[in-house]
Amino acid sequence: MIMVNKFHPAVRLWPIWSVCAVLVAAQEAVADFTSGSLVVSVIGDGVTTVGTTAVPITLREFTTAGVATGMEVPLPTVAAGANYAIAGNVTSTSFGFLRRSADQRYLTMAGANADAGATGFGFSTSSFPNRVIARVDSTGIVDTSTRFAGNGTTPRSVVSTNGTDLWWSSDTGSDIGGVNYVTLGSATKGTRIVNNQTAPLNTRNLGIFGGQLYASSNVATPTSPAVSFRGVYSLGSGLPTVGPAAGTIIVGGGASNSGIIDSGYDFFFADANTIYVADDDTATPVTGGLQKWLFDQGSWSKIWTAVPDGATGMRGLTGLVNGSSVQLYGITAVASGNGANSLVSLSDSLTGTTAPSFSTLATADANYVFRGVALAPVPEPSALGLGLAGLAVMGSIGRWRAEYRRH
């Protein structure tokens, strides 16, 4: 009789490794978005050009070379099940920004609860008071179950750590302007974390870097003396969920049209000492474009401003850092406001002091507008994948033991 050692690698261990590899590969293959690609929020129906008609929002994937992959996620245009309709309009240029969650698994953005095609629709009116947050995972599954009253506000930006904890920003409206904290599936606006004394209620984009919440604005608080928050500022300590949280200006400040940051929107931290800010200002002195700021010897300084060809400025922004190299991707602002704009890219170094040139990657089709850009979400390691990884480790230990006993 031949006795078989249950730890023998040829009999027991290699089949486990093979099965693990096959099953894990199958798990990874279900992701629809491609890791490392870009996702752009596209506003429009191909017909509506101006006005306050509610139009669809689609998330479209591009390679980093600007090639559309064919992967598109249309957000709900009518309510279905637990999901509410979410729409935008072509005219409102301050909404539609995308963010990838801190755990990289989700994309988030905000819109209004209106069926596509609804007329008389406008973010700044109370005719359609309800606001909706959309969360999209790496397989394109959409969750628009988070809806709340937002009288008179334009919802602008949503950031998240894990797809459940959500911070959303808006302009001044009724009693909920500024920044609020809410959780996925909520039917209320959540908890306001700013007041009108320590940070502005008219808030634009939100971002998370190093576990800290940041925001952008182009206004000052109304207190006397007024404090300027024109630029990018930190909000509270860490990731506040209750208020009031005080704002501290990081880059910008100064009076309106002072030539610093007059109309800041999206921003990207390359590291703790390097921040890029998208600005769409066209008033003299013009600050529109992409600004680079560096922190050195205790203060921040604006290093350069670059403007993409054919644009008046920028609004959406994201980026990647590889060693000392920075790759940036942005959405341009154009003179017509709601005219066809572009997805652009720019390569820089962390210590670079000369503005590089932009490359145009893709341009919006007729009667569509690009608004936000983010890196594609990545899939969560599945329970099965983690379990198989555990089996693989156990198998490796078993094989080591068998080999050890043989020697």
How far apart, in Å, do the first and last CA atoms of the chain sit?
23
Neighbouring C-alpha atoms within 13 Å toward the C-beta of 83 = 17
Distance between CA atoms of 317 and 373, rounded to whole angstroms?
6
For 213-267, what is each residue's pLDDT tens digit? 999 999 998 877 789 999 999 999 999 999 999 999 999 999 999 899 999 999 9
Those residues with Cβ within 8 angstroms of residue 189's Cβ, 6 or more apart along the chain or in another chain: 131, 148, 149, 150, 176, 180, 182
For 252-304, what is each residue's pLDDT tens digit? 999 999 899 999 999 999 999 999 999 999 999 999 999 999 999 999 999 99
The residue to which tokens 């910008």 are assigned:
252
Ranges of CATH 2.120.10.30 domains, the chain: 31-378
Distance between CA atoms of 98 and 265, rounded to whole angstroms?
12
For 320-359, what is each residue's pLDDT tens digit? 999 999 999 999 999 876 678 999 999 999 999 999 999 9
What's the predicted TM-score (pTM) here? Answer: 0.86
389 phi and psi angles, rounded to 5 deg? -60, -40
CATH 2.120.10.30 fits 31-378, yes or no: yes
The residue to which tokens 């983010």 are assigned:
374
Distance between CA atoms of 25 and 23, rounded to whole angstroms?
5
Kindly state the tokens that stand for 23: 């099953």
Distance between CA atoms of 131 and 123, rounded to whole angstroms?
9
Whether the CB-CB separation of 245 and 193 falls below 8 Å is answered with yes
